[in-house]
Structure 1
Amino acid sequence: MSTATTTPQREPATDTPPVDRHSRRFGLPIATALVMGNIIGGGIFLLPASVAPYGTVSLVAFGVLTLGAIALALVFGRLAHRLPQTGGPYVYARAAFGDFAGFLAAWSYWITAWVSNAALAVAAVGYLDVIVPIHASKPATIAAALAFQWLPALANLAGTRYVGAVQIVATVLKFVPLILVAVGGLFFFDGANLGPFHPAQGSTLGAVSASAAILLFSYLGVESAAVSAGEVRDPRRNVGRATVLGTLGAAAVYLLGTLSVFGTVPHDRLVTSTAPFSDATNAMVGGSWGGTAVACMAMVSILGALNGWTLLSAQAPYAAARDGLFPKAFTVKRRGVPTVGVLVTVVLASLLTVYNYTAGTQGVFEILVLVTTFTATVPYLLSTAAQIYFLLSGQSEKVSRARLARDAFLALAAFGFSLWLVAGSGYAAVYQGVLFLFVGVLVYAFMAARKQRAAAPAG
């Protein structure tokens, strides 16, 4: 097992540049689009309805969440400058605390990625239902959700060159409905639609925490550029910039968009909506054609998010597999993409989607979102703790005291923010998430033993 005192001291080597004509390293624009594309995915298109039961206090939660997400983005930028390698949280946790911590970060992040893909597919089906009513047929609903997962997987298998192209197009198209509602909705804003400030039962603080736990799903992806640092040109410079720029852009669109939906769709209708942005557009234009157009663009946006998340879901196990902590098959890479990771991820997400729809469609999206909230906070906590370790152990770069104090403050703020999200995700989500983690511990025991036998001298 690598030790915390020696691993961080060696100069990290970046991944070997791709030579396949189907692969291409990302520059700052595509890296920023990857961050924004993964943050602004399908989550925002359904989350206003998911948090509506908590009242307009969820807007306060969105504001707090935005500050926490920016703190996380800045921490990931600093960590990527120090360790510009593919793997993100896995690389940082392993460098600071050794193999087991690195494995937990990779395992949790991997779970987050494929469960998120299942949740995004559910959100996409809600908007497809606006165009082609399929909610009455469970087989049709399941088939549509699976199609939304497998199309991006096929794009990934074609190579990173095509992943970047799809991401740029999807990121541009997704801004049309979001800006339409975020800006145009303010002109149709009606305070009577807002509903209660917070639910009658429970405290305001509890409502803020609970809604923030759901809303975290909308900010998953702040680490996108860091996870794919090996595919980014000049990662020490571009990863941090792309992370901050992508997060700030997403935050502005999120806050305005959610406020506009709350103000244009009556609260009692918003609570049960499966396509809140389409409902908001219909309220603005006084017909159904606007909602249909928004639904089409929302599906393109979600496909873009699935495209980026499918790539990320393969990167963390790829990095861990290179170090012998995941099965070696995950190191298979063609056209710049870890193909085995992509295939395993889409199969698991598909099975989870089928299971949840078969068990009952009530609250499928919310259930999946809360599970990802817990699993996402594990690599976030480990990454911020790694940054605190680097700063306190004297292994940080030689910078001014003011810069050192700022980095320490941001790391502590991001750690506290992540811990608060764990508390707000609820007992059921923590319970299921812990079960996922314990399965990972068994996998680690197997892989660590295998690695030890391979390293042992013969005889």
Structure 2
Amino acid sequence: MGSKEKLGLWSIVLLGINGVVGSGVYLLPGKAYALMGPSSLWGYVLDTLLVLAIALCFAETGGMFDKTGGPYLYAKEAFGDFVGFEVGIMKWAISIIAWATMAVGFATALSVFWPSAATGTLKNVIAISIIVVLSIVNYFGVSITKYLNNIVTVAKLLPLILFVIIGVFFIKGSNFVATPEINTAANLGPALILIFYAFTGFESLAVAAGDMENPKKNVPIALMITMILASVIYILTQAVAIGTLGTSLAKSTAPVADSAKAFLGEFGVILVTLGTLISIGGINVAASFNTPRAGVALAEGGILPMVIAKKSKYGTPYIAIIITALLAIPLVLTGGFVKLAMISVISRFAQYIPTSLAVIVLRKRKDLPSTFRIPFGPTIPIVAVVVSLWLLTKATSEQIIWGLGGLVIGVPLYFILKYTVKGGSNNLTN
């Protein structure tokens, strides 16, 4: 049964929400407010529009294929092996880094209840245990991972839903008056990049298309549902945080917990902290499923050895699962949380820009009809590219170097593998 189990539409949606809604929704409200004041609420609205433009491009390209791959596959089909390789290698590498970061993030969040969990050997043991246990669960089949993902996603959304439903009754309108000491216009770019972090992760949804029911139809629908639901959650959470904390929100390091404490007392703190743990735990579940399949996509595309795509008797890519875990574990030991997270954020644009451009190119291929087509011709893909480039101009040089430096490393690696990988060299020498 494990080899035949597929993810249905709502399991795909929950997988997407699990991959998108994470620590950002709990930690960003205060930092966003510090940059834009009450106008930070509009920052979420603007980023929602920007992300939807990019997500629409993923929806159209996702509707063209029923194979595993996601951004790598779209780039390869549109621009050839080299661009596909660069996007694919970046995707797998960054996914591994992101998973290691989230595993350590769980240990850090756990320190609210268990202070020693955030440092030293105990931190490493907790994070490595998460990677090992979830890899084992993933090995035994899509079915187990699917049900675990569904349970975790629903569980982590409940605290946020309660926070919003109860919190709206405690909002003070006076807290939304603009604060003149904050230069909203000057801080718009940095604020949008900061808030944008909360929306990342949706691009992983199509990577595991081969494990989904009718992916040509379900991936585009799931993408739109995922991003709309995530956007609503973010905007309402920010509104409640502003409305209940006012200017003190700017100084809060745990904004949602502090907001919940204002109208729910200590119960609110416990509720939100548990939500944070479940949220980060949920991202770890999603990462354990999506990350190995990024490597499978490269192998099935003939760029990496086919052994990486080898399936277990349960129908899962066990070689890719093992490699992913073995690479993630050493990263846990580095302890470089902030820098690893920074790499993950900026590197996403190595997927967003090629995918948006791929829409324009792949539309010309009559052999690739899509189940979904973006309206207004090439306008939205072009807007997505321009917005992505604009956001990159707002990043610091250090962020660019760390975030996109992998593209430079990928150049020699591509040519080395082009002439050395058996079974894949044919696809690299077209």
TM-score bracket for this pair, using the shorter chain length = 0.7 to 0.9
From 327, 351, 365, give the equivalent of 1:348: 327
Counterparts of 2:371 and 2:275, CA distance in 1: 45
Counterparts of 1:328 and 1:133, CA distance in 2: 44
From 379, 398, 401, give the equivalent of 1:428: 398
Q: Is the 8 A contact 1:111 1:375 kept in 2?
A: no
Deviations 1:258-290 (A, max 9, x none): 2222333465566452x433332222212x233
Give the secondary-structure state (helix, strand or coil) at the position aligned to 1:260.
helix
Counterparts of 2:203 and 2:286, CA distance in 1: 12
Number of the residue aligned with 1:383: 355
Deviations 1:91-116 (A, max 9, x none): 11111111011111111212331222
Does 1:339 pair with 2:318? yes
Number of the residue aligned with 2:386: 416
Q: Is the 8 A contact 1:94 1:102 kept in 2?
A: yes
Deviation at 1:341, TM superposition (A): 2.7
Counterparts of 1:195 and 1:117, CA distance in 2: 39
Deviation at 1:300, TM superposition (A): 1.9
Number of the residue aligned with 1:245: 225
From 9, 22, 39, give the equivalent of 1:28: 9
Counterparts of 1:278 and 1:269, CA distance in 2: 11
Number of the residue aligned with 2:193: 213
Number of the residue aligned with 1:277: 256
The change in CA–CA distance for 1:322 and 1:214 in structure 2 (over 3 A counts) is same
Give the secondary-structure state (helix, strand or coil) at the position aligned to 2:89.
helix
Written as runs of structure 1 = structure 2, the 5 A alignment for 1:144-163 is 144-163=126-145
Deviation at 1:231, TM superposition (A): 1.3
Does 1:260 pair with 2:240? yes
The change in CA–CA distance for 1:385 and 1:346 in structure 2 (over 3 A counts) is same
Counterparts of 1:22 and 1:86, CA distance in 2: 15
Deviation at 1:444, TM superposition (A): 1.2
Give the secondary-structure state (helix, strand or coil) at the position aligned to 1:83.
coil
Give the secondary-structure state (helix, strand or coil) at the position aligned to 1:425.
coil
From 393, 417, 423, give the equivalent of 1:447: 417
Deviations 1:365-414 (A, max 9, x none): 4x3333212211111111111111123677774999xx675242221122
The change in CA–CA distance for 1:173 and 1:409 in structure 2 (over 3 A counts) is same
Q: Is the 8 A contact 1:131 1:295 kept in 2?
A: no
Deviations 1:127-161 (A, max 9, x none): 31222223774433343343444443332222211
Does 1:315 pair with 2:315? no
Deviations 1:233-275 (A, max 9, x none): 11121111111111111111111112222333465566452x4
Q: Is the 8 A contact 2:33 2:250 kept in 1?
A: yes
The change in CA–CA distance for 1:394 and 1:347 in structure 2 (over 3 A counts) is same
> How many residue pairs get matched?
424
Deviations 1:180-221 (A, max 9, x none): 222322222346767975875xx6344222122232222122
Number of the residue aligned with 2:41: 59
From 295, 301, 304, give the equivalent of 2:282: 304
Deviation at 1:173, TM superposition (A): 0.7
RMSD: 3.0
The change in CA–CA distance for 1:230 and 1:393 in structure 2 (over 3 A counts) is closer
Higher mean alpha-carbon deviation, 367-376 vs 171-180, is at 367-376
Counterparts of 2:82 and 2:139, CA distance in 1: 30
Higher mean alpha-carbon deviation, 40-49 vs 93-102, is at 40-49
Counterparts of 2:318 and 2:161, CA distance in 1: 35
Q: Is the 8 A contact 2:66 2:210 kept in 1?
A: yes
Counterparts of 1:113 and 1:261, CA distance in 2: 30
Counterparts of 2:16 and 2:121, CA distance in 1: 33
Higher mean alpha-carbon deviation, 237-246 vs 417-426, is at 417-426
TM-score normalised by L of structure 1: 0.83
TM-score normalised by L of structure 2: 0.88
Give the secondary-structure state (helix, strand or coil) at the position aligned to 1:429.
helix
Deviations 1:28-53 (A, max 9, x none): 11111111111112332222244344
The change in CA–CA distance for 1:255 and 1:152 in structure 2 (over 3 A counts) is farther
The change in CA–CA distance for 1:290 and 1:37 in structure 2 (over 3 A counts) is same
The change in CA–CA distance for 1:199 and 1:79 in structure 2 (over 3 A counts) is farther
Counterparts of 1:171 and 1:63, CA distance in 2: 23
Does 1:74 pair with 2:56? yes
Counterparts of 2:249 and 2:128, CA distance in 1: 28
Counterparts of 1:144 and 1:63, CA distance in 2: 37
